[in-house]
């Protein structure tokens, strides 16, 4: 069965509380439930993880090789700073979809730079929590072809 790793980076554990004007009121637990429902409908397995630690995210990406078929990554602020995450993605040779709740291109200039996009197959941003099922659909289609 197809397996997809969904990784969430720093501060996403605070969804629903942190800057609801930017990120909405949906919690990370709500998003995980939505993803589990979507995965079931698609007939795929998912593993859903969140960490505030860059090193833990790198370790999770490394452990995905041979275990998962693709990765959906909302790296949060590490998107704009982490060469380590970029290198980890390159090293596992799995398709990665970059995901963001907000439209990073319509925000502060420093958010316009993404190290993840340099090694991702695509990017979904600006659709809030609805971006997660969109990313699952996209990854499922990518892996199915």
CA neighbor of 77 nearest in space, from 35, 14, 142: 14
Asked if 77 contacts 107 with a C-beta cutoff of 8 angstroms, the reply is no
Active site residue 100: yes
CATH of the domain at 137: 3.40.50.9100
Point out the catalytic residue in the list 23, 78, 115, 132: 23
The pLDDT, as a whole number, for residue 37 is 98
The single residue of 68, 78, 100, 140 carrying the catalytic annotation is 100
**How many Å apart are CA 135 and CA 95, to the nearest integer?**
12
pLDDT recorded at residue 55: 98
**Rounded to the nearest 10 degrees, what angle do helices 131-144 and 28-42 cross at?**
30
pLDDT, block means (10 residues), the chain with 145 residues: 97 88 87 98 98 98 98 96 97 97 81 90 96 98 92
Assess contact for 34 and 129: CB atoms under 8 A.
Answer: yes
**Annotation says 112 is catalytic:** no
Strand order in the sheet with 70-74: 45-50, 3-8, 70-74, 96-100, 122-125
Domain tally for the chain?
A: 1
**Closest to 87 measured CA to CA, from 133, 129, 55:** 55
Q: Range of 59's domain?
A: 3-144
C-alpha 61/C-alpha 28 separation (Å) is 20
- Classify strands 96-100 and 70-74 as parallel, antiparallel or unpaired: parallel
pLDDT value at residue 96: 98
- The whole-number pLDDT of residue 34 equals 98
């Amino acid at each position: 069965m197809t397996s997809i790793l969904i990784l969430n980076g720093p501060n996403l554990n605070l969804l629903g509380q942190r800057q609801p004007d930017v990120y909405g009121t949906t919690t990370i637990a709500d998003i995980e439930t939505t993803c589990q429902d979507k995965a079931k409908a698609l007939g795929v397995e998912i593993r859903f993880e969140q960490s505030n630690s860059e090193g833990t995210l790198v370790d999770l990406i490394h452990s995905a090789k041979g275990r998962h078929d693709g990765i959906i990554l909302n790296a949060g602020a590490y998107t704009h700073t982490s060469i380590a995450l970029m290198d980890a993605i390159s090293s596992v040779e799995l398709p990665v979809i970059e995901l963001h709740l907000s439209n990073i291109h319509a925000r502060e200039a420093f958010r316009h730079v993404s190290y993840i996009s340099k090694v991702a197959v695509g990017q979904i941003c600006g659709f809030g929590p609805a971006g997660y099922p969109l990313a699952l659909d996209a990854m499922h289609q990518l892996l199915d072809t």
